Structure 1
Amino acid sequence: MSKIRSLVAGALGLLLTASAATAQDWKAKYPELVFGKIPDENASGTTSRWTPLTDYLSKQLGVKVTLRIANDYAAVIEGQRAGNIHIGMYGPASYARAYLVGAKVEPFAIEVNSDGSKGYHSVLYVKTDSSYKTIEDLKGKNLCLVDPNSTSGNNVPRFMMSKMSIEPDKFFGKVIYAGSHENAVIGVTQGTCDAAFNWWNTEDESNLMRMDRKGMAKAADFRIILKSDQIVNSPMAYLTDLPADLKAAIRKAVLDLATNDPETFNKIYEGKSKPYAAVDHKAYEPVVELIKFVDSLRKQKS
């Protein structure tokens, strides 16, 4: 019996040694990892919200994890395609675009709403005291979109408008890319735009509600006149060619974040979300098809 125990202990020791050696291998190759985030709010807000996560990942992985706030959505896509961003926090459409342009990325975690759902909506906001009741009332007026690679701020709106036989560049007086969801709302507040598309999860959580909590806008000043079907929630994705052990470590750290470090998790989502759930590419195949459709509209126009 003691001989068997010795053999088992020896085998376990070899496995642990091999595992430790593998970890040391990827730590030597990747002494620093870069976490890229699309700019869905202003830079200071993004830094405040996401820096605790990169600090947490640094501790969990044992290597430095640096936050990179992209200037636009395309910067995260290009950063991952070039291999300079190891982990990216995307919107669904920007992930789909990364996939379509050949970036070797894998989604591994998805945001989960407070009600347990894994989807959100694109909504069209106007000011509460305006006369606009439907999108048709906005003919000749100015529209704020977010970014060409934004799901709720461009691609889903263009898909919806196409189904309604609305050609945005002909229908509206101006179509303006605001650069972020916050800027799109501010555009309506300041009168640059008469309406703006934005993301909306539930009555309790949306970009507008976040802005209200930060004192950047008053939710009561806006109302919704158009809402999309549900869109699959945003993914976190890492480079496909990262070592398997490193990917497993990243995945575990992220999926365990809400349990291991609830303060950091709640800093990101302000207590309005449930823990991340595992996900893979299949969940985003409908979004890939959506992007192909929007691309076809652009080609027809040109």
Structure 2
Amino acid sequence: MTNKSEMTKIHYGKHGMLSIFLLSLLILLSGCTREETPKKVSLYDRTSAVSKDADDPSRDTLWFGFDPRLGPKEEVLIYTPFLTYLEQATGKRFRIKFNERDEDTINNLGKGVTQFASLGTLNYVIGHNKYGIRYLVSGVSRAGDPKYRSAIFVRPESSIQALHDLKGRCFAFGSHMSTEGHLIPRNMLEESGVTLKDLGNYIYTGSHINTVRSVLNGECDAGGIQDPLAARLAAEGKIRILKMSEPFPGSVIAFNSAVDSETVNAVKAALLAFDPAGSHKDMLFGWDRTEMPLGFTEINEQELDKVAGFAREYGLLMQ
């Protein structure tokens, strides 16, 4: 015969099992709901997180920043082997710091978040003026010199034949802080009699590849981008180049002024010895898509003065 105490235990046990079942069902359903909710994640945030978490880098780690160019996934594949080369050549430890905006590359280098960075000429001039960042070396183009050009392009089927035809049209610049994507194309337009006021509209897409997309998808009629990307897309029949600019000093590697001279000299020697088309070719991936396809060299810093002059003219550099 079951006593009162045993009945209480049985009664409690049945309700306990029911409660556990209902609670489990609720958790399962809420879990399904959460899984079905899409989340927007920045690929630049993800690549930065990977870098920060990797082996818990010590204070001896050197962080290397890069201006955004081709998109984070492709840039990871390109620059990771390059930093492996620097580690082997210098005995130093390097990590990648990707930046979603050109301004972040400048600020991170100037504030010491990164110790080295690959920068467009305009960004270097701004960073030098604002933070005192220092010049190290310049990238060597396919032509074998440390200069590059900007290209203004349209869709292959476009009726636009010359720069003066762009009056009243939409023009896509890259980053507001880009030499090849903004500063030089803007100067090219003005030399052809087309000011920003003459354009029907203009936008800043944030990167060269975004400029290409905005033109190809019909958002804008023309755009300005770096010459290596323009040459490749033109050869593939995806764009038509309207005009190339005169040569300007190309991208540079710069460093934070607080980096010790021994480290600076070691990195400089490694960069000047870097041979991406020869002895180091097999360890690289897609290096020919960068702005330094043939490695690095030194230039006279006075060659950067013309870019600084444009920057002041367009209000991008303090007097």
> In the alignment, what sits opposite 2:129?
100
> In the alignment, what sits opposite 2:157?
129
> In the alignment, what sits opposite 1:4?
none
> In the alignment, what sits opposite 2:230?
208
**Paired residues for 1:9-158 under 5 Å:** 30-101=59-130, 103-158=131-186
Amino acid at match of 2:161: K
Amino acid at match of 1:283: E
Contact conserved, 2:123 with 2:177, CA < 8 A, in 1? yes
Query: RMSD of aligned C-alpha atoms?
Result: 2.6
> In 2, Cα distance between the equivalents of 1:53 and 1:267?
11
Partner of residue 237 from structure 2, selected from 214, 220, 225:
220
**Which digits, 9 at most, give the CA deviation of each residue in 1:30-66, with x for residues without a partner?**
5111100000111111111111111222233333211
**Identical-pair percentage:** 22
Q: CA deviation at 1:278?
A: 2.3
Partner of residue 222 from structure 2, selected from 187, 195, 205:
195
Q: CA deviation at 1:260?
A: 6.0
> In 1, Cα distance between the equivalents of 2:207 and 2:59?
31
> In the alignment, what sits opposite 2:294?
274
> In 1, Cα distance between the equivalents of 2:252 and 2:89?
20
Deviates more, 1:217-226 or 1:50-59: 217-226
SS of equivalent to 2:297: strand
Q: TM-score, normalised on structure 2?
A: 0.74
Q: CA deviation at 1:244?
A: 1.0
SS of equivalent to 2:150: strand
Contact conserved, 1:53 with 1:265, CA < 8 A, in 2? yes
Residue 166 of structure 1 pairs with residue 183 of structure 2: no
Residue 254 of structure 1 pairs with residue 271 of structure 2: yes
Residue 294 of structure 1 pairs with residue 311 of structure 2: no
Aligned residues: 259
**Which digits, 9 at most, give the CA deviation of each residue in 1:6-46, with x for residues without a partner?**
xxxxxxxxxxxxxxxxxxxxxxx951111000001111111
Residue 235 of structure 1 pairs with residue 263 of structure 2: no
> In 2, Cα distance between the equivalents of 1:100 and 1:241?
16
Deviates more, 1:267-276 or 1:82-91: 267-276
CA gap 1:48/1:190 in 2 versus in 1, 3 angstroms: same
Q: Which runs of 5+ in 2 are unaligned?
A: 1-57
Deviates more, 1:71-80 or 1:277-286: 277-286
Q: TM-score, normalised on structure 1?
A: 0.78
Contact conserved, 1:152 with 1:198, CA < 8 A, in 2? yes
Q: CA deviation at 1:117?
A: 2.3
Larger radius of gyration: 2
SS of equivalent to 1:196: strand
> In 2, Cα distance between the equivalents of 1:145 and 1:48?
26
> In the alignment, what sits opposite 2:209?
182
SS of equivalent to 1:128: coil
CA gap 1:167/1:115 in 2 versus in 1, 3 angstroms: closer
Q: CA deviation at 1:280?
A: 5.1
Q: Which runs of 5+ in 1 are unaligned?
A: 1-28, 201-205
Contact conserved, 1:100 with 1:288, CA < 8 A, in 2? no
CA gap 1:42/1:189 in 2 versus in 1, 3 angstroms: same
CA gap 1:209/1:229 in 2 versus in 1, 3 angstroms: closer
Q: CA deviation at 1:195?
A: 0.5
CA gap 1:88/1:158 in 2 versus in 1, 3 angstroms: same
Higher relative contact order (CA 8 A, sep 6+): 1
Which structure shows the bigger proportion of residues in strand conformation? 1
> In 2, Cα distance between the equivalents of 1:297 and 1:63?
34
Q: CA deviation at 1:178?
A: 1.1
CA gap 1:279/1:148 in 2 versus in 1, 3 angstroms: same
